[in-house]
Chains A and B, each alone.
Chain A
Amino acid sequence: QKEVEQNSGPLSVPEGAIASLNCTYSDRGSQSFFWYRQYSGKSPELIMSIYSNGDKEDGRFTAQLNKASQYVSLLIRDSQPSDSATYLCAVTGNQFYFGTGTSLTVIP
C-alpha cells in the first residue's frame, strides 16, 4: 500500500463546474496536509495547507480533511481552463510523502 494515494485521472470537467480531487493516506500520525498544483514543465505551487479536521476555504478552493477516515480532498469551484494541471497531495508527519498526482483538464 502506498503511503499517499490519489486517483491518477485524467479528470475532465467542463468550465464552470466543480472539480473534486481526492487523496487518502496510510500514516495515522500525519499532521500536515498540502495541495500543490503543477503545470507541465513547471515546479509545484502551493494551493492550500490544512492541519485540522474540517473545511478550509480560499477563494475558489476548498480543502477538506477527515483524519478519522485518513482522507483529504480539494474542491475547485467555477473551474477555469487555467486550472488544468496536475494536483499533488502531500502528507507529512515523521516523513514526507507526495501522492502520484491527479491530472485535471478543464474543458472550455
Chain B
Amino acid sequence: DTEVTQTPKHLVMGMTNKKSLKCEQHMGHRAMYWYKQKAKKPPELMFVYSYEKLSINESVPSRFSPECPNSSLLNLHLHALQPEDSALYLCASSQERASGRALEETQYFGPGTRLLVL
C-alpha cells in the first residue's frame, strides 16, 4: 500500500483564522514532508521530518507551523496566512534507510489540500 492521505481536500480560510492540515501514512516510512505548489510551478519543499524530528525547514514563515505527533501523522498548523499563501499543499513520505539521507529515497505524495486564503 503506497497511500498517503491528506485532509481536508479543500480549505477556505480568512487571514485571521487558525486551521490545520493533516497527513497520514501507514507504509512504515520514517520521513515525511510538506510541500507548497503554486499553479504551473513545481512543488517547493517546506519541511522535512525524520524520525519525528524536524530536520529541514526551508526558511518557511512562522505562520506555518509543522507538527509530527507520531511516525504516521504529520500536521501543518496555519495561522494569520496571507492571500499569497493560497496554493496546493502536498504531503509526502519516504523511507530513510541511511541516517540523514531521506531525501535520496522515493517520495510518495498524498492528493494534496487546496488552500484558498481570503
Contact = CB atoms under 8 A, between A and B. Distances in A.
Interface in B98-118: 103-112
B106 A98 contact: no
B45 interface: yes
Interface residues on B, range: 10 to 19
Chain B interface SS verdict (over half): loop
Contacts of A95: 103
Contacts of A43: 88, 90, 109-112
Contacts, number: 39
Interface residues of A, number: 20
A101 B111 CA distance: 18
Interface of A: 31-32, 34, 36, 42-46, 49, 88, 92-96, 98-101
Given A34-B107, A43-B109, A98-B43, 12 more contacts: A31-B104, A32-B104, A32-B105, A34-B106, A46-B106, A49-B106, A92-B104, A94-B103, A96-B103, A98-B42, A100-B42, A101-B42
Interface of B: 41-43, 45, 88, 90, 103-112
